[in-house]
Chains A and B, each alone.
Chain A
């Protein structure tokens, strides 16, 4: 029962942060009732999805310091599991999602066991490689539709909660918002768990961690598996939300980099960092990116912009936007 208590214990957070979080939550709950464009709604759903992707990345990349640039492979496994099960065997979302998470976690053990023998940049590069290999395999695998991907057929009657098929986007919005809340509470529990503390000790210094009886290799694998569960869960949601999935949009390197970048921009190793990062980058990607690529005629400019952001963050404040907030708070004391 202590695990449940830990998950709901926000006592170690500054009051101001909790107030801000409550305000943000009130806004998020209320948003669909406010006047908004359908593009705005789509942007908000993407923001929530990327917040969860980023939280998954942050679990191993931020708390554990293991920079992973292959998260998209787990998005793909989640999305494809749900799509295949729905199309072939008519399995509802709420059953295929946990199956997708389990398959992704299983794959993460297979990947994690050898890859965590590597450190730093070597680990990051290896995660890119495994993700790309999996994507290539999916592109030639006919069972999952090859490069054309899969299309989930509509089930006539809507709203359909079982198969997560809705005509209005605000249904999807509340489903993913609910997932975010569950994810946040679980993350808070993780922060307070033995593994959570041990992982931060590993990030600090592996030799010291080992001298304190921590099986560093196994701890990383466990945390990686938890991170994977987050990402695969949203991958399953992605399949239902888009109706259409293909290797290029669920398993690409672009997606992996975007996930990592949002978490780093917001603040790796902090609870709110990934959400802050997604709140900045998703609207920027959708509005500024599409304006630059469309009317302004600078297609691909948004990618250059991301690069610039990463360089500024790396040079000025490696702990991201949340790091800037922390630094200001420390100065005021």
Chain B
């Protein structure tokens, strides 16, 4: 069943077209990757879906409801959670209290919120950091806390914006495994943007490629990386030409 439906979304900032007529869908039990070179409009598209930007035209349907005109916090309450590219550590709250802010979306009881937060932290393997301050944690752990906070709000779909950024190889492997468990065991659909292509390729059932705000390709990861349009977008015309010449020779 379709969970998220993005219809002809266009977002313009003055004269700059950040997204142009982008359409795609995400199913209830899918992991979809959104890739594209720098400035392709991935984060803008995320912001449009999450209600942070108002669309110039087009519509977004989530879980059968038209969310085009809703505010970001209203969209969140419907079960569409997200993480941010730049994550700010808190000075005032302990790790578990940070995660509780997520679970407070579904309950007003402190006890219940704490229980959900601890359960999610256990699931993500960061239960031992519950009593620490955010600023004391390394970046990889802070990202897990951000994930935990989003998960604690019990979402149906999780938008992940560059979760792999700034992590080393082994940390990325750990993250891939973690995201697979979030999807497999908790039944959360994932839509992720990533620079680390390896991660998108391993995780995604389907990949959507953006370039200059337009969708230029969509399909299975293995097929998409061979698409000449995608290769051109990532590596430039020269590379495609040279590859052709080599193939001819």
Contact = CB atoms under 8 A, between A and B. Distances in A.
Interface of A: 2, 6, 63, 192-194, 197-198, 200-201, 203-205, 207-216, 269
Given A197-B101, A208-B88, A213 B76 contact: yes
Contacts of B52: 207, 210
Contacts of A63: 92
B97 interface: yes
B246 interface: no
A2 B115 CA distance: 15
Interface in B161-216: none
B113 A194 contact: yes
Contacts of B50: 211
B153 A201 contact: no
Contact of A210 (B73, B100, B104): B73
A319 to B, nearest CB: 8
Nearest to A207: B84
B110 to A, nearest CB: 5
B232 interface: no
Given A194-B110, A211-B50, A213-B153, A204 B93 contact: yes
Contacts of A205: 88
Contacts of B76: 210-213
B19 interface: no
A52 to B, nearest CB: 22
Interface in B59-83: 71-74, 76-77, 81-82
B102 interface: yes
Given A193-B110, A207-B84, A212 B92 contact: no
A2 B104 contact: no
Nearest to B102: A212
B149 interface: yes
A194 B108 contact: yes
Contact of A197 (B74, B77, B93): B93
A37 B75 CA distance: 61
Contacts of B74: 213
A196 B223 CA distance: 50
Contact of B104 (A198, A207, A211): A198
B56 interface: no
